[in-house]
Structure 1
Amino acid sequence: MTFTPELERDLRPLSESEAEVYIASTCFKTGPPGPVGLEIERIVHDATDSSRAVPVAEVRAAAAPAGEVLPHGAAITFEPGGQLEVSSACRPDLPSLIEAMRADVKTIDEHFYAAGLTFGPLALDGFRPPVRTLYESRYAAMEQHFDRSGPSGRTMMCSTASLQVCLDAGFTGAGPQSAVQRWARLHHLAPVLTAMFANSPFRQGAPSGWRSARQGVWLGTDPSRTAPVPVTEDPPAAWARYAMDALVLCIPSSDGSWSAPNGLTMRGWLRGEGPRPATMQDVEYHLTTLFPFIRPRGFLELRVIDTQAGGDWETAAAVTAALVEDEKAADLAAAACAPVTALPRPMATA
């Protein structure tokens, strides 16, 4: 192997302060608002037997004729329980995103229909038990980690589907359409958007008591990585603290065993508490295992909306974008939602 300066940077032991600065400086890439992206997760069923679990291999085979990238730029990936995810290319505005995504979703629908498969209309598979059929080391370690605190983790991995709206972080500073404003705005909207588009009322074949049982499952899964990031006047620093204090989900290893010690945080690992020194590569991987309400990835990824039946994703995407991009709409929504967003978050029982 030929070592480059970049590779040496990725593999050398990293200090706690270096990691914190890196996380804060790279996850918020400020710029003019406008670009938008979308990720649609969908739960797959056999068209003739909705009770049959459809393994990832069968889902992958149904999607194969479409290629890895769809005609209008969307990418296809697969979740541990056989869910399909269609992730758009970044588009300059909402109308062009919807037009492109509508065409790519239609392509996928046609291939799955031809394979005898269909997509469930709800965001939580409330009738089939969670079964992991993606056998990668990452997912085995995830399953082991989540099992320590109850069954919600397996359900989250294998039986849930969300609609993720991705928006530009915004301008520098603290004024209109700044990253500070948009970060706060999205967090205040999150519970309202969850309620507006709740689409998962069932759990284990019966009404769950939640309009979004999917969100209930997520709230019951390792809060160090699924709870909302605190809203402060310094979002990059708040995110860096959150990421550093989150539990380590897995430690990539060449021997195939990716299990992380119970209770190990990224901060603890960087302080020497892990099985080996942590590197930049480890920090970057750790960031992909964090799933808060809004996740900064250079852009802001809103993760609280249930997947929608049919083409209803278009409405959810349009409402979300409008309530962040349009100043007047955002201010009116913030004022209307203040009594709700100020309430304490309920404890999860799912």
Structure 2
Amino acid sequence: MARDTVDSTPVKTVADLAATLEAGNKPEEAFRIGTEHEKFGYCVNDLTPIPYEGEKGVKAVLEGMEKILKWERIEDAGNIIGLADDAGGGAISIEPGGQFELSGAPLDNLHQTCREANQHLAHVREVAEPLGVGFLGIGMTPTWARADMPRMPKSRYDIMTNYMPKVGSLGLDMMYRTSTIQVNLDFSSEADMARKMRVGLALQPIATAIFANSPFTEGKPNGFKSFRAQIWTDTDADRTGDMPFAFEEGFGFERYVEWALDVPMYFVKRGATYYDVTDTTFRQFMNGALHGRIPDAEPSLGDWNNHLSTLFPDVRLKKYIEMRGADGGPWRRICALPALWVGLMYDQGILDQAWDLVKDWTTEERAALRAGVPKDALQTPFRSGTVLDIAKEAVALSLEGLKRRNRLSDGDLDERVHLAPVEEGLAAGMSPADILLNRYNGSWEGDLSRIFKEYAY
């Protein structure tokens, strides 16, 4: 999220809050694809993370991008922290450890998504290379310790940094040392939202396995294929997880709101000031708990939208649905992750088949998948087979969904072309982490510095 909102429209009831989500309903012909991806900046000469300040810093890269793109500058306490394309809908932001994020514009098809990503990466290289800065696509920093990571000057991150150690042992690693690719998708009704949330939540561990790409910590294998996914299991139980309540009868906008109301808030923003309210849930806020503690203590639509952005379930609901289970990765994966979910979600018949695939999975089975996939990825046991078997079924459905969409590129290829790296991996029975580990134990001879050259954007 590029900037925190300040909409002062008052919100007073659960129905008010549910209506903000319901406002996302769109006709199918208006469905769009929003792709987000993060990457780690590093100094080419010594492979250390880039700081915020300085000639080789995040600030210098942002200011270089500002000159090229002419996007609106976003500041926090006088520091540039992002750029916004208000006309097109895209944005650039920075995560706590300097991860450089493109939040893509809402686009009609995956060919446009891939062009957007490639154009962005070309602009980043144009700015970064003269500075001696490179960017790496991977799910977790492979060589840097938590203490090595810079801290970005964003007020919300100061509050989160103080709070995270109180609610989990790995929250700071999530903030400072992980990176993701995610896609944001639309829904047409409450029923369509519920179906997509359920399919997304059930299959999120499968996507995590397909895209697992964080097998190293501080220079050596960590025993996991997606340590990024493992980090999420011990970050903050109040606001993370697979949301079993989404599978209960009657799940809809109000049920999501009821869950969100009882999650502690991080902050309330008034003007340019961020107030730490980590001891208060949004429900308590609505019941007057912040009177006398902050100015304008009645909750607003801006407060609610900011709160929604601080919830981190595997699938997140706003006016759209965010698929959040994938590790960061090389550029082909930036196109493949949205391709997987668009194929599954944007054809009603395929979405129904995807639901048929997962609807008899029990709460315990879904939890076991989520617990097992970080370590074993595609090799995770499931019923009489493995996650690889489920992944092949899901990808076959997605390919059919993309074929039915029939969105053609300039070269008359449909969107299935963007799933090619996933198909290749599944044919070999390997996640990106498996490939990395093979190289580490083989041609790299344990030298992880090779990753910065071979996996740089």
Instruction: Give the structure-2-normalised TM-score.
Output: 0.66
The corresponding residue for 2:134 is 118
1:245 corresponds to which of 262, 283, 302: 262
Q: Are 1:49 and 2:43 matched, yes or no?
A: no
Counterparts of 1:172-183 in structure 2, within 5 Å, are 172=189, 174=191, 178-183=192-197
Distance 1:316 1:268, change over 3 A: same
Alpha-carbon spacing, 1:112–1:151, altered in 2? closer, same or farther (3 Å): farther
Rounded to whole Å, the distance in 2 between the matches of 1:63 and 1:341 is: 46
C-alpha displacement of 1:253:
5.9
Deviation of 1:322 (Å): 0.6
Partner of 2:177: 159
User: Which residue type is aligned with residue 44 of structure 1?
Assistant: G
Alignment of 1:145 with 2:163, yes or no, is yes
- For residues 270-310 of structure 1, the C-alpha deviation after alignment (integer angstroms, 9 at most, x for no partner) is 23344454421433322221122122221111111111113
Q: Secondary structure at the match of 1:295?
A: strand
Residue number in structure 2 paired with 1:311:
332
Contact 1:163 1:308 (8 Å CA) reproduced = yes
Q: What's the CA shift for 1:100?
A: 2.8
Amino acid at match of 1:22: D
Cα 1:269–1:337 shift into 2, 3 Å: same
Q: Distance in 2 between matches of 1:212 and 1:126?
A: 12
Paired with 1:289 and 1:267, the residues of 2 have a C-alpha distance of 15
RMSD across aligned C-alpha pairs, in angstroms? Answer: 3.0
Matched position secondary structure for 2:312: coil
1:124–1:266 distance in 2 versus 1, CA, 3 Å: same
Cα 1:338–1:46, aligned 2, differ >3 Å: closer, same or farther? Answer: farther
Q: Return the match for 2:25 from 21, 30, 35.
A: 30
> What code does the residue aligned with 2:32 have?
P
Match runs of 1:67-78 below 5 Å: 67=66, 68=71, 74-78=90-94
Per the alignment, residue 128 of structure 1 pairs with 144
User: Quick one: structure 1 residues 240 and 103, their matched pair in 2 at CA, closer, same or farther if it must change by over 3 Å?
Assistant: same
Higher relative CO (Cα under 8 Å, sequence separation at least 6) belongs to 1
Q: Report the TM-score when normalising by structure 1.
A: 0.84
Task: Return the match for 1:208 from 197, 212, 222.
Answer: 222
The answer on whether the counterparts of 2:182 and 2:337 sit within 8 Å (CA) in structure 1 is no
Moved more, 239-248 or 104-113: 104-113
Deviation at 1:89, TM superposition (A): 0.9
Highest CA radius of gyration, 1 or 2?
Answer: 2
What is residue 60 of structure 1 aligned with on the other side?
59
| Matches of 2:217 and 2:358, distance apart in 1 | 28
Q: 2:347 aligns with which of 314, 326, 335?
A: 326
Query: In structure 2, do the counterparts of structure 1 residues 251 and 338 end up closer, same or farther at CA, with 3 Å as the change threshold?
Result: same
Question: Gaps spanning 5+ residues in structure 1: where?
Answer: 1-5
Identity across aligned pairs (percent)?
24
SS at structure 2 position matched to 1:56: coil
Shift of the 257–27 alpha-carbon distance from structure 1 to 2, 3 Å rule, reads closer
Asked if residue 188 in structure 1 is aligned to residue 202 in structure 2, the reply is yes
- Determine if the alignment matches structure 1 residue 93 to structure 2 residue 89: no
What is the match of residue 3 of structure 1? none
Partner of 2:435: none
How far, CA to CA, are the matches of 1:129 and 1:147 in structure 2? Answer: 17
Indicate the larger mover: 120-129 or 329-338. Answer: 329-338
Q: CA deviation at 1:225?
A: 1.4
1:21 has 2:39 as partner: no
1:340 and 1:128, CA in 2 relative to 1: closer, same or farther beyond 3 A? farther
For 1:243 and 1:259, the matched residues in 2 are separated by 18
Letter of the aligned partner of 2:16 in structure 1?
Y
Q: Which amino acid aligns with 2:236?
A: D
Counterpart among 205, 209, 213 of residue 199 in structure 1 = 213
Q: From the superposition, tell whether residues 41 and 224 of structure 1 become closer, same or farther in structure 2 (CA, over 3 Å).
A: same
TM-fit CA distance, 1:109: 2.7
Deviation by residue 1:81-103 (Cα, 9 ceiling, x = unmatched): 11100111111222222223322
Q: Using a 3 Å threshold, how does the CA distance of structure 1 residues 73 and 99 change in structure 2: closer, same or farther?
A: farther
Three-state SS of the structure 2 residue aligned to 1:43 is strand
Sort the Cα spacing of 1:32 and 1:53 in 2 relative to 1 into closer, same or farther, 3 A: same
Q: Does structure 1 conserve the Cα–Cα contact (< 8 Å) formed by 2:233 and 2:241?
A: yes
Deviation of residue 173 (structure 1)? Answer: 5.6
Pick closer, same or farther for the CA change 1:278–1:132 going to 2, 3 Å.
farther
Aligned AA for 1:104? H
Which residue of 62, 69, 82 corresponds with 2:98? Answer: 82
1:129-188 alpha-carbon deviations (Å, 9 max, x no partner): 23342133211111111121344121111111111101112x2263xxx22222222222
- CA deviation after TM superposition for structure 1 residue 73, in Å: 6.3
Q: Matched residue of 1:258: which SS?
A: strand
Counterpart AA for 1:119: F
Secondary structure (helix, strand or coil) at the match of 1:31 reads coil
Letter in 2 for 1:35: R
Gaps of 5+ in 2: 1-5, 72-83, 376-457
On the 8 A contact 2:40/2:49 being kept in 1, the answer is: no
Q: Is residue 288 of structure 1 aligned with residue 304 of structure 2?
A: no
In 2, Cα distance between equivalents of 1:225 and 1:338 = 24
Task: Give me the whole-angstrom Cα distance separating, in 2, the residues matched to 1:7 and 1:73.
Answer: 18
CA distance in 1, matches of 2:8, 2:102: 34
Q: Do the aligned partners of 2:242 and 2:367 also contact (CA within 8 Å) in 1?
A: no
| Superposition deviation, residue 333 in structure 1 | 4.5
